[in-house]
Amino acid sequence: MDIKRIINALPEANAKAVLAQLLERYLTPAFAALPKNEVELLVLDALEQVGAISADPQVYELVSKLKVTRPKARRLIYDRELRHSSSADLDAKVKALLKRPLLQKQGELFVLEVENPLVSDHLRDKLQQLGYACDGSFSPSLIKLGLEAITALIAALLSTAEQEQVRLALVAAGAPDDSFRGVLKATLKKLASKVAADSGEALLDKAAGYLAPIVDASIAALGEKAAELFAQ
């Protein structure tokens, strides 16, 4: 990381503001009173403000730019996320993950790649509260969900009104008329069978095209994509 180049490229007022905030926070409540991990987070925030790291860095970005180990990078992300993100923020990040799952075993498993360790814990906790276990034994960043689990998770992230709007749109497109979970499960099963033969980025893009309108409760977009799904 060429920190001199990054700082020199900043407008002077911006550089002064970042430095002033960093020093002010370091001096509160007294010089050197903050524990080491809090100082590290202050510096991490300053690096974001000057554009040296992204606002939502992934593990490898911190490993490569800060020259730290993966466990260290994961801890920094976890601690930083814990201070910056509300439960609603974490739900939004789970929704974003649900839009682009990988599929395994001929569409029987939906696999989410979760780099952010706090988002991973938040997701696992939601699944546990819903009564589902998730398989993350192969890799801490991969979470495998069965059809029932992903159906319950999407339902938990939508309001009652959004569920009904999505249900009606899917039924109108050809899904069997049932409860929201029944309609959603049938839709996900249809989606899995449609795209499971693909792989890699093609699969991600195709699955995202169908799942994003459901997760976002975007009814206008959902009608067209769902009709395409159930037409075959």
Distance CA 160, CA 93 (A): 20
The rounded distance, in Å, linking the Cα atoms of 134 and 82 is 22
Instruction: Compute the mean pLDDT over every residue in the chain, rounded to the nearest whole number.
Output: 84
Spatial distance between the Cα atoms of 172 and 134, rounded to a whole number of angstroms: 32
Residue 177 has pLDDT above 90, yes or no: no
Domain ranges of the chain: 3-84, 89-230
- The 10s digit of each residue's pLDDT in 198-220 is 544 445 556 677 788 888 888 87
Q: What digits encode the pLDDT tens for the residues 14-51?
A: 999 999 999 998 898 888 888 898 999 999 999 999 99
Q: How far apart are CA 128 and CA 137, in angstroms?
A: 16
Query: In 3-state terms, what secondary structure has residue 5?
Result: helix
Residues 168-177, mean pLDDT to the nearest whole number: 86
Position with higher pLDDT, 224 vs 4: 4
Left (φ > 0), alpha (ψ -120 to 50) or beta: where does 130 sit?
A: alpha
What is the pLDDT, as a whole number, of residue 108? 67
Of 84, 88, 76, residue with least CA distance to 40: 76
Q: Please, what is the Cα angle at 126 between 188 and 155, to 5 degrees?
A: 35
The pLDDT tens digits for 45-79 are 999 999 999 988 889 999 999 999 999 999 999 99
β-sheet bridge partners, residue 104: 109
> Which has the closest alpha carbon to 211: 170, 160, 177?
170
The residues, ordered by sequence, that sit 6+ positions from 112 with a Cβ below 8 Å of its Cβ are: 97, 98, 101, 102, 123, 142, 143, 145
